[in-house]
Amino acid sequence: MRPRWPDPWSLGAVAIAALVLLPVLSVIWLAFRPEDNIWPHLLSTTLPRYLGNTLLLMSTVGAITALVGAGAGWLVVMYRFPGHGWLQWALLLPLAVPAYVGAYALVDFLEYAGPVQTGLRQLMGWQDARDYVFPQIRSRGAAVLVLSAALYPYVYLLARAAFREQSGAGFEVARALGVGPWGRFWRVGLPLARPAIAAGCAVVMMETVNDFGVVDYFAVQTLTTGIFTVWLQAGNLGGAAQLATLVLGVIVLLVTLEKLSRRRSRFFGSARQPRPVEPVRLTGWQGAAACAACLVPFGLGFVLPVAVLSGHALDAAEWAAPGLIRALTHTLATGGAAALATVVLGLFMVYGARLSGKRLPVLLLPVTAIGYAAPGAVLGVGILFPLAGLDNAVADGWVALGGADPGLILTGSAAALVIAYTVRFFAIAQGAADAALGRVAPSLPMAARSLGQTAGGTLRRVHLPLIRASIGSALLLVFVDCVKELPATLLLRPFGYDTLATRVHAKASLENIAEAAPAALMITLVGLVAVGFLARANR
């Protein structure tokens, strides 16, 4: 009997899964085999502060975004009030503004020389800061405010969709039984929307752990800033890997708790077409209050940062700076290459797992989503070590064959960034491809195969034309996330290789908001395009 070799689709799916999991495994390997074990030193000095700040930020930002996101989602679905038509889409716009950009704008707006304190001094006749008390701007509380304003749309988007899908009959029965608006929200709407809200909060808390720009600017020491400190300042890769492993542990614990919290809950929709919710019209002070409740997060998360940066950008000579053009070129090149690679690999893996029908590729599909949960700083640690080893091996082999030393091919170029982005955002492309392919009727590819089409021909001629909208959306979303990614870019970029994100961080860290404004506005503009597609998809 001839041996049965694995088909290339299965082999490709396994190889892609190995690529995505390699950084995580590398971090764990480095953590358990450090050259200099500084774990006891960290445990007795800075680790409690790192861990405490991280957990506090996660919990407070998660709670605030749950309150704001779910509350705004409930208001725009269940009520009609002045400004409802545009506010339901405007509430998504903070997704276009990276959190670190919001941090720079908030400090510029509220600092001593900013418009708020300057106006107060002129209005009240105060001479200097000794005449009045103003809250500390660069603080942990300000970091919570900025992160909450930037991340609440993740909860809002999912909560709004969950409330829209609920049947209006249940609310009508509750109203007939004398249950008031608060009771209908707490006892009817919220329990049914809880899985969506919990999923949004989980994403928010993972993004909070991943953040570096905000906490670094506000001098809040977290596990992510600790990785940068231990690796780049102390020069201890093993210690950074140990901190990165702790971050992974926190993420895994978070995801596990989220799943355990609803393991015995079951949520089913009606078999019939549900009756849509009939919104209640609010007028007078109630309508004004609902409008104001939606305007506040939108103003903090989008209007304030864009207005502050636009004011600086009007006078900035930075628009013509050669460094800005280079950063834009680098951003488009790395983000575009990573987005294309991520979507192609995600589509290949999902299609290969479905085509082969074998157990291993199917089991590996959900595992590959771990890259999105892993913060950029963790991936930076996990990617640099194996790539550096591969670079050195290739260089040594080439020199042994008589060639000139090629240098660092991967870690000395933007290839490391492309790989990091691909691993980090692979879950987005994989999820989009899986959902899109699941909507294709099985009879169509079966008919193509019966007419002599190969697996690749069926994918190219049948599947791709049907799923191109979903694939295009995934391509855009991955590109936008690559443009905004800061921690992995800071760790893996070659010397002198700036992107828009690193340029904004570098300029703002030197308190030069005017020169940071053009690059920040470019990032926001790219994000607005993605938000527009999201709004269109969720109509």
How far is residue 26 from each of residues 39, 387, 527, measured CA to CA in Å? Answer: 18, 10, 32
pLDDT at 231: 80
Q: pLDDT confidence of 174, banded at 50, 70, 90? A: low
Q: Between these two residues, 43 and 166, which has the higher pLDDT value? A: 43
Dihedral through CA 299, CA 300, CA 301, CA 306, nearest 10?
A: 70
2 alpha-carbon distance from chain centroid = 48
Is the CB of residue 243 less than 8 Å from the CB of residue 228?
A: no
Give yes or no for residue 252 having a pLDDT over 60: yes
pLDDT at 527: 82
Task: Compute the average pLDDT of residues 356-375.
Answer: 73
pLDDT at 1: 43
Give yes or no for residue 265 having a pLDDT over 60: no
DSSP output for 137-205: SSSHHHHHHHHHHHHHHHHHHHHHHHHHTS-HHHHHHHHHTT--HHHHIIIIIHHHHHHHHHHHHHHHH
The answer as to whether 468 is a domain residue is yes
Specify the DSSP element, H or E, that contains 431. helix 426-438
- Range picked from 74-78, 527-531, 533-537 for highest mean pLDDT: 74-78
Task: Compute the average pLDDT of residues 19-48.
Answer: 82
The answer as to whether 44 is a domain residue is no
Give yes or no for residue 340 having a pLDDT over 80: yes
Q: pLDDT confidence of 254, banded at 50, 70, 90? A: confident
The answer as to whether 525 is a domain residue is yes
pLDDT at 438: 74
Between 77-81, 267-271, 487-491, 524-528, the lowest mean confidence (pLDDT) is in 267-271
Q: pLDDT confidence of 270, banded at 50, 70, 90? A: very low
Which amino acid appears at position 359 of this protein?
R
Task: Compute the average pLDDT of residues 336-347.
Answer: 90
Q: Which CATH number goes with the domain that contains 373?
A: 1.10.3720.10
Q: pLDDT confidence of 141, banded at 50, 70, 90? A: very high
- Range picked from 202-211, 236-245, 445-454 for highest mean pLDDT: 202-211
Task: Compute the average pLDDT of residues 212-222.
Answer: 91
pLDDT at 66: 93
Domain range holding 515? 8-23+315-539
Task: Compute the average pLDDT of residues 322-334.
Answer: 89
pLDDT at 532: 77
CB atoms within 10 A of CB 66: 19
Number of domains in the chain: 1
What ranges make up the beta strands (E) of 46-101?
A: 79-80
pLDDT at 464: 78
3-state secondary structure of 248: helix
pLDDT at 271: 43
The answer as to whether 100 is a domain residue is no
What ranges make up the beta strands (E) of 199-320?
A: 280-281
Phi and psi dihedrals of 205, rounded to 5? -70, -35
Q: Between these two residues, 280 and 357, which has the higher pLDDT value? A: 280
Question: In sequence order, what are the beta bridge partners of 280?
Answer: 79
Task: Compute the average pLDDT of residues 117-140.
Answer: 86
Give yes or no for residue 9 having a pLDDT over 70: no
| Residues contacting 376, CB < 8 A, separation 6+ | 210, 212, 420, 424, 485, 486, 487, 488, 489, 491
Give the N- to C-terminal CA distance of the chain in Å, as an integer.
57
Give yes or no for residue 152 having a pLDDT over 90: yes
What pTM did the predictor assign?
A: 0.84
Between 75-84, 95-104, 224-233, the lowest mean confidence (pLDDT) is in 224-233
pLDDT at 19: 82
Q: Between these two residues, 408 and 259, which has the higher pLDDT value? A: 408
Q: Between these two residues, 273 and 21, which has the higher pLDDT value? A: 21
The answer as to whether 516 is a domain residue is yes
Task: Compute the average pLDDT of residues 291-308.
Answer: 93
Between 420-424, 457-461, 475-479, the lowest mean confidence (pLDDT) is in 457-461
What confidence tens digit (pLDDT) does each residue in 109-124 have?
988 888 888 888 888 8
3-state secondary structure of 79: strand
Give yes or no for residue 302 having a pLDDT over 90: yes
